Amino acid sequence: MQKTALILTSVLALTACAGKKTEVAASDDVAPEVVVNFDADSAYSYVERQVAFGPRVPNTEAHRRCGEWLASELRRRGADVTEQRSDLTAFDGTVLKAVNILGRFNTESPDRLLLLAHWDCRPWADQDPNPDNRKKPVDGANDGASGVGVLLEIARQLSEKAPGKGVDILFVDAEDWGTEGSEDSWALGARYFMEHPPVEGYLPDEAILLDMVGGKGAVFCREYFSEQAAPRLAQSLWGIAASRGYGDLFLNKLGGAVTDDHVQLIEKGVPAVDIIEYHPEQESGFNPHWHTVSDNMENIDRATLKAVGETVMQYLITNY
């Protein structure tokens, strides 16, 4: 993903007039007390298992083996699984053997929540401070594996207590083989999925994207495109997080505009929210390990996984 360079004129004008930090309205609804059985140790182990395959860069053996494992894990949890294979051409002309992996729970329900994360890794650590590392692939512990790890734990919970409505888990491929300055070069797998849905007529009612949700010291602002397309969903998620004591991670203020997988859903009319680590003080907007060789297990925090996992699980339990 990349941070889109936008001048948010309306936000800046509001800030100037009010003379205070830019914040967004909190939800009027008080999140009810809900028992959430999200196991952070389990989510951590799912992250660790992915990283153990090696960098999951498309067209590599590590990518192939990890994709097979992800599909088998969803099947093991009782999901109806579709592996959507495609040849996608990257900005540099490389043909990527991509696989989107969709697991559906309660397939008969017309009401559907889509939870998604990308599972591929950046092929080059182009943001690494050491020039010698910039052609090396990224482990993607946070940028990739963390979101998938949280969703695999949610799938495990759904196997123990089926949802009353439809819940879909999607691992999208070929998100991170992009180049700065070219928005269309990112999120290739998500674009293909929305243009060629593997289930005829598939269009979820709403969607939650998890991206970089396991880092130490992570904070999550309300991403700009999400706020424009799905303000009610964003309000609900950030309200739940605050009610569970995670207001220090889920900051109730507007973040940057991020070109990510959720944009592909928004363009098709799906209200979608991107829960993504965002640091406005960083030039990139992301954590200092982003697209570097230090995006590894040393920087994964169970507490962050727990905060995100419990927040999403409570929303799911309450609404689906």
Residues in a beta bridge with 61: none
Query: Per-residue pLDDT averaged across 223-231, rounded?
Result: 98
- Higher-pLDDT residue of 23, 59: 59
In whole angstroms, give the CA distance from residue 308 to residue 199: 28
Whole-number pLDDT of residue 281: 76
Whole-number percent of the chain with pLDDT over 70? 90
Query: Per-residue pLDDT averaged across 95-122, rounded?
Result: 98
137-146, 175-184, 196-205, 298-307: range with lowest mean pLDDT: 175-184
In whole angstroms, give the CA distance from residue 84 to residue 73: 16
For the chain, domain boundaries: 38-317
**Which residues 6+ apart lie within 8 Å of 16 measured at CB?**
none
Residue 26 pLDDT > 60, yes or no? no
**Residue 192, φ and ψ in degrees, nearest 5:** -65, -40
In whole angstroms, give the CA distance from residue 195 to residue 181: 23
In whole angstroms, give the CA distance from residue 116 to residue 33: 25
Contact 178, 121 (CB under 8 A): no
CA atoms within 13 A on the CB side of 196: 12
Whole-number pLDDT of residue 11: 36
Whole-number pLDDT of residue 283: 74
Residues in a beta bridge with 166: 112
pLDDT bin (cut points 50, 70, 90) of residue 95 is very high
Residue 314 pLDDT > 70, yes or no? yes
Whether domain 38-317 has CATH 3.40.630.10: the reply is: yes
**Which residues 6+ apart lie within 8 Å of 131 measured at CB?**
none
Residue 99 pLDDT > 50, yes or no? yes
In whole angstroms, give the CA distance from residue 79 to residue 151: 13
Angle formed by the axes of helices 40-52 and 302-319, nearest 10°: 120
Helix H, strand E, coil C: the string for the chain is CEEECCCCHHHHHHHHHHCCCCCCCCCCCCCCCCCCCCCHHHHHHHHHHHHHCCCCCCCCHHHHHHHHHHHHHHHHCCCEEEEEEEEEECCCCCEEEEEEEEEEECCCCCCEEEEEEECCCCCCCCCCCCHHHCCCCCCCHHHHHHHHHHHHHHHHHHHHCCCCCEEEEEEECCCCCCCCCCHHHCCHHHHHHHHCCCCCCCCCCEEEEEECCCECCCCEEECHHHHHHCHHHHHHHHHHHHHCCCCCCEEEEECCEEECHHHHHHCCCCCEEEEECCCCCCCCCCCCCCCCCCCCHHHECHHHHHHHHHHHHHHHHHHC
Residue 238 pLDDT > 90, yes or no? yes
Whole-number pLDDT of residue 9: 31
Residue 1 pLDDT > 90, yes or no? no
pLDDT tens readout for residues 249-303: 999 999 999 999 999 999 999 999 999 999 877 777 888 999 999 999 999 999 9
Contact 119, 101 (CB under 8 A): yes
User: Which of 251, 274, 277 lies closest to 261, judged by CA?
Assistant: 274
Query: Per-residue pLDDT averaged across 68-97, rounded?
Result: 98
Whole-number pLDDT of residue 313: 98
Residue 110 pLDDT > 90, yes or no? yes
